[in-house]
Amino acid sequence: MFDKKSSTASVQVRHAWTKASIRFDLPGQTSQRIALGNKATAQVGDLNVTWTSFDDRLKEDVVLAKAPNNTSTCNVQMRGLAFGNDGHGGCILNDAGGQDRFQLPAPRQGCSRPQQQHHHTGI
């Protein structure tokens, strides 16, 4: 899941037939990266992220050690895809032929401990 040529906290998903892809990079210095089986975890500052790969989706869990300034950012790179609105606060990613290839549901937020915030997204 991690780019072997870089030490960044990143993940890329590619559509098997069209080779359309989307990549997410967390900005900042990565202090830890571990990939084991279908999970990859990384720590960037006060943010911990776990990506879990399934046959039909990629799940992202972000744990914030402290509340950010109301935003968390990541860099997104796409090849052969365009964003569309899914009508539920998320996005649909369409290929050049207009076919839906990926879905980015709206993030959900939960809290397991008062000082931590969890954000969940999936592809």
The domains of the chain are located at 9-122
Buried b (16+ CB within 10 A) or exposed e, 19-33: ebbbbbbbeeebeeb
pTM value is 0.71
Q: How many CB atoms lie within 10 A of CB 18?
A: 15
Q: What is the pLDDT of residues 62-119, one digit of tens each?
A: 888 777 666 677 888 999 999 888 898 888 999 988 898 888 888 776 655 544 444 4
Token representation of residue 8: 């960044």
